[in-house]
Structure 1
C-alpha cells in the first residue's frame, strides 16, 4: 500500500459522479457546501471559478481545478452573472434546482465531477490541501493527467458497453493524477507538509512502512534505522515535516483502519483490534474511544447502514444548458 492511495481510500464512500457540461453565456452555477470534493476541467471556452471569500479565478482550456474541502463554490461565464443553484441528491449526484433561461453567447464545455468523502476519516494529506487546487494547462506538464481527462471526456461523450464500470474507474484515476500533479508541483517549495513528506526519502520510507504493516510493533528506532538515522534525528525530522511524532501518526492510522473495518464489516472486535496492532481488546477500545470519543461498539452501530450499501448506477450528465 502507498500513502496517497491509503489517504483516498480512508475517506472515500460511495461512487463518484461526473458530467460533461455544455453552457452558453450568460450562465452561472452555484454549488452548495457538501461532505464531498469536486472538480472542473475546462475543455473548450473559458469561465471563472468563484470560491467563497477569495478572488475569482480565470479558467482557460485545459485548466483543472479541484476543490477538496466541500466548502461550496460557483462557476460562471463572468463573475457578475447571476447564479443558479446546483443541489446534491441523496445518491451524491448534482442537479439544477431550476432551469435557467437559455443563453445565446459563447459556449464553455467542461467536465464536472464530485467524490463522496467521510470527513471523520480525513487524512492530513487531503485536509492539508488549499481550498482551491488550480492546475493551469501548460504544454508538456502532467501528461498522465491530460490523458485521464481525455479518456473521461470521451467516455462521457460517447458511452459504450461497460461505461458504468469505466467511468468510476476513470474518476478514481483522475483524482490520483490531480493529487500527484499538485504534490509534484509543490514538492520542492515547502519544508513541511505532505508534499515535502512524500519527497523526503527518510520520512516517505517510514510512512510507507507504517501503511504497509500497520499492525507491526514499530518503534522510532526501527523506523529511523530504515533511513540510516538516529532515533532523535529521525523523530525530529518526521515531526517537523509531517506535523506529529511517528508513533502518534502510527496510532492515528491504526484507528482509521479500525474505523473502516467497524463501519464496513462484521469482523469481531478481536479481529479489528489485531488488525490495528492490539493484542488486547480492552487496550484497543480505550485507544479508539480516545480518538473518536465513543466506543468501538457504538461506532459500529452508528455506521451499520454502510456495511451493505446499495451501489448506485453511474449518474448521467445532468447539466446541459444551451
Structure 2
C-alpha cells in the first residue's frame, strides 16, 4: 500500500505550540557554584566557553559539560552549575537580579560563559511529549552529529552581540531550531528505556511507518491489516510490536490522536463540531462527542466554551453544537 507519510514529531511540536525564550547569560570564573530552583518550562543551557559540572536533582552522577555542550531539563528539577566539586553553591536568583548588560556574573574572571533560556509549551505538552523523554538530555557539542546545534548557538551568539533589527524574534526561532535538533539527536541515539510512548515508536523500524501513515491520514478508516501492510510485516507482528514499544495498540493510539486533533481545533475555534468530526475521522458529530467525552470528561461544546473559544453551530446558522 502506497501512502503519504507524515512527520509525527513536527505535528506534535506544532500542536503543543513550542516557543523559545532566551534568558540573561552567565559568566563565571575562579571557584564558583550556582544553585538553580526547579525551572518553569523546559530549561536549556549551553557552554560557549570553558567547562563545568552539572548536578541535577535525581540524576545519580554529576555531568561534565565542555565547551559546545548543551543540556535540556524536561522536568522541573533543581540543578547546580559549578566550576568544580566541593564548592558551596550560592542561589541563582540574586545573581540574575543583579545582572547588567544582559549578563550575570559569579566568582572571579570569565573562565566559563553560558547561554541559556527556556522552552514553553501548551497544556498538552506534558502528556504528548515531555513524559516520553528523560528528565535530562545532554548533547556533547564536539560530535559531528551536533553540527547544526553548534550552528544555531553560534547564530544566537551573533544576534545577541550585534542586536540587529528583530534580533529577539530571530533568536527565539533559532532556539526552536536548536530544540528540534537536540530532540533528533536524542531520538537517534536513545537506548532502551530512554524514550517511551510514540517517541520510542519513531525509532522503531516496524512501528515508525505505521505511525507516520496514521499521522498523514488520521481520518482514514485504518485497520491493523492495512497498517501492517504499510509496515511490511504481518498483522500480528505489528499489533504486538506496537503494543510493546508504544504501550498501546495501533488503533487505540489512532483514536487518541484523533481526539488530540479535535481538541486543538476546538481550542482554536476552528470549524463546527460536525466539520471537525468528519475531518478527524469520525462518521458523525455524535460519534466524536461520545469519544471526546469518554477521553476528556467533557463534551466538545463544553470543552470549547470552557476555554472561551467561539462556539459554532452545526450548519453555521442554527443552534450551537
Compute the displacement of 1:46 (Å): 2.4
Compute the displacement of 1:179 (Å): 0.3
Matched, 1:127 2:131: yes
Q: Which of 75, 80, 95 is the equivalent residue of 2:81?
A: 75
Q: Deviations over 1:100-149 (max 9, x none)?
A: 88642444211212111234344555422110001123342322222222
For residue 209 of structure 1, what is the aligned residue in structure 2? 213
Distance of 1:69 and 1:255 partners within structure 2: 25
User: Any conservation in 1 of the 2:27–2:113 contact (CA below 8 Å)?
Assistant: yes
Distance of 1:256 and 1:219 partners within structure 2: 20
Matched, 1:84 2:97: no
Q: Which of 23, 26, 48 is the equivalent residue of 1:43?
A: 48
For residue 160 of structure 2, what is the aligned residue in structure 1? 156
Matched, 1:61 2:67: yes
Q: Deviations over 1:188-223 (max 9, x none)?
A: 898976565223333111111111111111111111
The count of corresponding residues between Structure 1 and Structure 2 is: 297
Q: Deviations over 1:158-214 (max 9, x none)?
A: 221232432222122111100011111126898976565223333111111111111
Matched, 1:142 2:146: yes
Matched, 1:118 2:122: yes
Range that drifts further, 177-186 or 292-301: 292-301
User: Any conservation in 1 of the 2:52–2:112 contact (CA below 8 Å)?
Assistant: yes
Q: Which runs of 5+ in 1 are unaligned?
A: 87-94, 308-322
What is the RMSD of the two structures over their aligned residues, measured on CA atoms? 3.0
TM-score (norm 1): 0.81
Superposed, 1:10-49 pairs within 5 Å as 10-12=15-17, 15-19=19-23, 21-25=25-29, 26=32, 28-34=34-40, 36-49=41-54
For residue 177 of structure 1, what is the aligned residue in structure 2? 181
User: Any conservation in 1 of the 2:35–2:89 contact (CA below 8 Å)?
Assistant: no
Compute the displacement of 1:244 (Å): 1.1
For residue 315 of structure 2, what is the aligned residue in structure 1? none
Partner secondary structure for residue 184 of structure 2 = helix
Partner secondary structure for residue 142 of structure 1 = helix
For residue 299 of structure 1, what is the aligned residue in structure 2? 303
Distance of 1:203 and 1:233 partners within structure 2: 10
User: Any conservation in 2 of the 1:192–1:240 contact (CA below 8 Å)?
Assistant: no
Superposed, 1:181-260 pairs within 5 Å as 181-186=185-190, 196-260=200-264
Q: Deviations over 1:9-50 (max 9, x none)?
A: 23225x32013613234352514343x212111101223323
Compute the displacement of 1:70 (Å): 3.2
Distance of 2:176 and 2:135 partners within structure 1: 20
Distance of 1:258 and 1:192 partners within structure 2: 24
User: Any conservation in 2 of the 1:7–1:123 contact (CA below 8 Å)?
Assistant: no
Partner secondary structure for residue 124 of structure 2 = helix
Q: Which runs of 5+ in 2 are unaligned?
A: 1-5, 312-321
